[in-house]
Amino acid sequence: MVNMLKQKRVPKIETIRIPALTTKPDRIWIWFCLAIVVLAVTLYINTLQNGYALDDKGIITLNKITEKGFSGIPELLTTSYWKGINLRVMSYRPLSPVTFAIEIGIWGKNPMASHFFNLLFYMATGLLMLFFLKRLFRKIDPEIPPVIAFLATMLFLAHPIHTEVVANIKGRDSLFEFFFLLLSAHLLLRYLETARTADLVLSVVTFFPALLSKESAITYVIMVPVLLILFDSRTTGKKFTTTLFFLIPVVMFLLLYFLFSEFHSNKRLHIMDNSLLAVAPAASIWATKFLILGKYLLLLIFPHPLVYDYSYNQIPLTGFTDPRVWLSILAYLSATLLLLGVLYKRLSGKMVGPAGLIIAFSVAWFIMGFIVSSNLFLLIGSTMGERFMYTPSLGFILLLIYGLYRLVKWPLKKKKFGGLAAIGLYLFCCALLAGYLVKTINRNGDWKDDVTLFSNDLKYLGENAKANDFLANIYSDSGNIATDQGIKKNYYLKAIALKEKAVSINPRVPEILQALGYLYGNTGQFEKAITTYKYAIELNPDIAMNYIQVGKAFGMLRKFGESIDYLKQAEKISPDDADLMCSLGITYAQTGDAALAVTYFEKAHARNPSDKQINNFLNLAKHQVNQKNDHPKLAKKTNL
């Protein structure tokens, strides 16, 4: 009995250890998160004092749908992106405009609120990236220290090329696109670890808001199989099946796109927006495309100068004799071959080291985020744009940080990362971070408003027709509202100089010529106004206003015969224009034909009966006819 009791053992109860957040490894990640929050705030808190700039007006302040607030949301969900300013463009991006409508519904048109939420979304992106990279590195090589993910995230957040996306409120479409793509990729990697269906479903679901943010997110459907090839150990059939799930949000989005995006719009791209539309040999166009690709890489490496616009003729066409073109081709070709080589090895069942996996992921992510806006296969409405590097820059940062990590770790052989090697890496990253920080904060100030942005950037955009024209419009508008005649003329003369520069760069834009003619007229340069308007008429003979302005200018020069000729041509195009009828009435009165003056003043009055000046002219002309007086009295009382 005693032996039996000795043999009987009390079962040992095993306790399950639940790691607390206060353990050392977890505390590291908490400190990392705090640092990311502090950095994001430090980088972009000065944007809270900025107003609206550039495309903010088209999407927010002048958008007749967005400005309705909450009541405009249903319309934003069922119309194209630029519908609110009556632009017919093939674009459907409802997500960010809906958030702008919500902000207007709560705070009104308050740029501080919008800038605050851009900062908040950017901060959230940094936190998400940290944990995405933590999961990515753990899957590739558990030996990679956590600080590498942290350094990569910090440098990504601080990179100055992102200022256009964060400091420009309209850039929220890119903020959302990247956030939801990163979240989808994070959940997909988690699915590969857990095999939980819920993770796969969430990954597919979060892909949809990325598509609703920006159409370029559709290329993620190609990134999914790349991720599976690199990190999924299951059979090819299961990888294919998983990929098919991501076609569901794509099909849903395409249905909405074809319904609401003005897909059938016949609006054509303009060379002023994209210089690659120039009539030139195909070799020259393709060489310039590759040159632009190289310029993107240079901006990632050395982000200066940063400008808001790269349209005609900021980047002149080049040829394949330009060595920069071949350097760009070599860089992109080498990266693409490395990616294809790794994918081939993985498909062949061969082992690929951590370096190969990180290179392949980085290059694939870069290509995915950039291929639509690269102008390689589909010309878009921009020659180049810093905002197009927002999503791809993650690939660049990963290659940079991991490359530096491997470089300083190489002498250590199999030893753990630390000591002088770690200090060297930290010092380099701190120096780079400091440079990025200063550049980003300074650049944010340029986005304060249109005047600041256009003025500061023009020193780098001297050969950019659009940039000169934009600043000229600012001066012209200031002249229009100025009450002091000296100040008014000064603004107009500044605008004229910039418009003339824009015309010298691209003399075939009727809208710029028309505006220049108007400025010449306002400063009494009527001969120049006539010459400019005539050239605008040659380029586009169907605009009545150009004929009217030529007629008015001839009238100011008292060349009434020529004035009437042009005004009558305008009448054929626009017979219901009250201003035109009034101008004809005044001109006939100045020639002494009061009866015809009455006829045209009556037409003007019929079209605009509330205009008191037209009514006065009509009564005066009738009086002259009745009294059989000559025209000088009317001419004296009228002013063209």
Q: Per-residue pLDDT tens for 559-602?
A: 999 999 999 999 999 999 999 999 999 999 898 888 899 999 99
Using alpha carbons, list the distances in angstroms from residue 638 to 200, 205, 397, 526, 559: 75, 67, 67, 18, 16
Give the pLDDT of residue 24.
59
Percent of the chain surpassing pLDDT 70: 93
Does position 8 have pLDDT exceeding 60, yes or no?
no
Using CA atoms, how far apart are residues 186 and 454, in angstroms rounded to an integer?
39
Distance of CA 638 to the CA centre of its chain: 47
Question: What integer is the mean pLDDT of 231-246?
Answer: 96
Counting beta carbons within 10 angstroms of the beta carbon of residue 5, is it exposed (0 to 12), middle (13 to 18) or buried (19 or more)?
Answer: exposed
Give the pLDDT of residue 25.
63
- CA torsion sign for 611, 616, 621, 625 is positive
Q: Look at the block and give the residue holding tokens 């900062």.
A: 119
Question: What integer is the mean pLDDT of 284-297?
Answer: 98
Does position 350 have pLDDT exceeding 70, yes or no?
yes
Give the pLDDT of residue 635.
45
Least confident residue range of 78-82, 226-230, 499-503: 78-82
Residues 6 or more apart whose CB falls under 8 angstroms from that of 90 comprise 80, 261, 262, 263, 265, 267
Give the pLDDT of residue 638.
44
Q: Pick the closest to residue 227 from 154, 135, 319 (CA basis).
A: 135
Least confident residue range of 2-16, 120-134, 536-550: 2-16
What is the DSSP track for 474-511?
HHHHHHHH--SHHHHHHHHHHHHHHHHHHHHH----HH
Per-residue pLDDT band at 41 (split at 50, 70, 90): very high
What token pair was written down for 136? 């990515």
Does position 15 have pLDDT exceeding 80, yes or no?
no
Per-residue pLDDT band at 526 (split at 50, 70, 90): very high
Counting beta carbons within 10 angstroms of the beta carbon of residue 327, is it exposed (0 to 12), middle (13 to 18) or buried (19 or more)?
Answer: middle
Does position 4 have pLDDT exceeding 90, yes or no?
no
**Count of residues for the chain?**
640
What token pair was written down for 52? 């609206």
Give the pLDDT of residue 99.
98
Give the pLDDT of residue 19.
38
Per-residue pLDDT band at 90 (split at 50, 70, 90): confident
Question: What integer is the mean pLDDT of 459-464?
Answer: 96
* Segment 463-481, tens digit of pLDDT: 999 999 999 999 999 999 9
Give the pLDDT of residue 592.
85
Counting beta carbons within 10 angstroms of the beta carbon of residue 127, is it exposed (0 to 12), middle (13 to 18) or buried (19 or more)?
Answer: middle
Does position 630 have pLDDT exceeding 60, yes or no?
no
Does position 23 have pLDDT exceeding 80, yes or no?
no
Question: What integer is the mean pLDDT of 408-431?
Answer: 84
Does position 277 have pLDDT exceeding 80, yes or no?
yes
Does position 154 have pLDDT exceeding 70, yes or no?
yes
* Segment 119-140, tens digit of pLDDT: 999 999 999 999 999 999 999 9
Using CA atoms, how far apart are residues 569 and 574, in angstroms rounded to an integer?
9
SS3 267: coil
Per-residue pLDDT band at 627 (split at 50, 70, 90): confident
Question: What integer is the mean pLDDT of 207-216?
Answer: 98
Q: How many CA atoms lie within 13 A of 254 on its CB side?
A: 8
Using CA atoms, how far apart are residues 368 and 364, in angstroms rounded to an integer?
6
In this prediction the pTM is 0.90
Give the pLDDT of residue 43.
98
Q: Which domains does the chain have, with CATH numbers?
A: 24-443 (no CATH), 455-637 (1.25.40.10)
Using CA atoms, how far apart are residues 286 and 252, in angstroms rounded to an integer?
34
Per-residue pLDDT band at 11 (split at 50, 70, 90): very low
* Segment 98-124, tens digit of pLDDT: 999 999 999 999 999 999 999 999 999
Per-residue pLDDT band at 1 (split at 50, 70, 90): very low
Mean pLDDT in the chain?
92
Question: What integer is the mean pLDDT of 348-371?
Answer: 96
